[in-house]
């Protein structure tokens, strides 16, 4: 059976990480049996989660997990989509992963109050004497990642305007569809669900959270997807 390495549920979500939620959704969409394991981070081949173990193979990165499922199991996540919609779905997914994600990282990790309510608790099991040092080091690394990506170089107003356009674009693509691209699920539903779910918890106070929470079709989509795929979690 496939093992998916995860952080575990946090903030009312099936996982703390949108990429892990995406990975789990991909396994669900493909109908593959899997188990989760929250103890794999220190052995993560690329230093990040998710990764999976599938027999003798280890595949790290949610997109590579998708490609692995497509190749090994012959599963086409986008079977219901036209060629144009395949392209659109992939683009929307990458907009969330490579753009919106970094705004989310900023609000979660670099704003003290949000960090205290959220990511600080990832380290609750570390020895008390080391916890402040670990938090400082990890936040420094996150700040460096944000700077290297480029999103971290923008002021709040600039980040907010960029995030708003992403959220509007996502909402426009979803429209009144049941799933992201229409009546049928596709691969990008894994990502759309994961990133909307990760952006909505109101313990992370931010303009981005407020914008998401006031975008009715995205909230309703999160609720529908949560009920269908993670019924234990509620909205
Ligand atoms: N491109 C990767 C991104 C995964 C990723 O950024 N994971 C984050 C959590 S959201 C992580 O594990 N970060 C740990 C670290 O950078 O130390 C994917 O699609 O899986």
Ligand 1 close to Cβ of residue 50 (< 6 A): yes
Distance CA 37, CA 46 (A): 17
Helix (H, G, I), strand (E, B) or coil at 3: strand
**Distance of CA 152 from the midpoint of ligand 1 (Å):** 17
pLDDT higher than threshold 90 for residue 182: yes
**Residue partners of 73: CB distance under 8 A and separation at least 6:** 30, 32
Record the tokens describing residue 34, joined without a space.
Answer: 């899997």
Give the span between the Cα atoms of 133 and 137, in whole angstroms.
6
Q: How confident is the model at residue 232 (pLDDT cuts 50, 70, 90)?
A: confident
What is the Cα–Cα distance from 212 to 170, expressed in whole angstroms? 10
| Span 136-169, pLDDT tens digits | 999 999 999 999 999 999 999 999 999 999 999 9
pLDDT in tens, 63-78: 999 999 999 999 999 9
Q: How far is the CA of 49 from the centre of ligand 1 (A)?
A: 5
Write out pLDDT tens, residues 99-133: 999 999 999 999 999 999 999 999 999 999 999 99
**Ligand 1 centre from 60 Cα, in Å?**
10
> 103 in ligand 1 pocket by Cβ < 6 Å?
no
Residue nearest to atom 19 of ligand 1 (CA): 62
Query: What percent of the chain is modeled with pLDDT above 90?
Result: 98
If one counts every other C-beta atom within 10 angstroms of the C-beta of residue 110, the result is 14
**Three state DSSP letters for 157-200:** HHHHHHHHHHHHHHHHHHCCCCECCECCCCHHHHHHHHHHHHHC
């Amino acid at each position: 059976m496939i093992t998916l390495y995860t952080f575990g549920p946090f903030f009312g979500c099936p996982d703390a990480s949108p990429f892990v939620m995406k990975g789990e959704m991909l396994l669900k969409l493909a109908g593959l049996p899997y188990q989760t394991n929250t103890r794999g981070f220190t052995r993560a081949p690329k230093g990040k989660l998710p990764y999976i173990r599938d027999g003798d193979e280890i595949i790290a990165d949610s997109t590579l997990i998708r490609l692995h499922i497509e190749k090994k199991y012959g599963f086409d996540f986008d079977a219901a989509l036209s060629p144009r919609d395949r392209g659109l779905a992939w683009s929307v997914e990458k907009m969330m992963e490579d753009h919106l994600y970094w705004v989310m990282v900023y609000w979660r990790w670099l704003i003290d109050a949000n960090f205290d309510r959220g990511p600080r608790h990832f380290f609750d099991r570390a020895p008390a004497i080391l916890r402040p040092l670990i938090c400082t080091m990890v936040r420094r690394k996150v700040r460096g990642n944000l700077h290297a990506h480029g999103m971290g170089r923008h002021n709040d107003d600039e980040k907010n305007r960029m995030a708003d356009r992403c959220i509007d674009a996502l909402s426009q693509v979803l429209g009144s569809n049941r799933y992201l691209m229409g009546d049928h699920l596709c691969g990008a539903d894994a990502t759309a669900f994961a990133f909307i779910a990760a952006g909505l918890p109101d313990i992370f106070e931010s303009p981005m959270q407020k914008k998401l929470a006031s975008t009715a079709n995205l909230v309703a989509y999160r609720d529908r997807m949560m009920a269908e795929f993670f019924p234990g979690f509620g909205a």
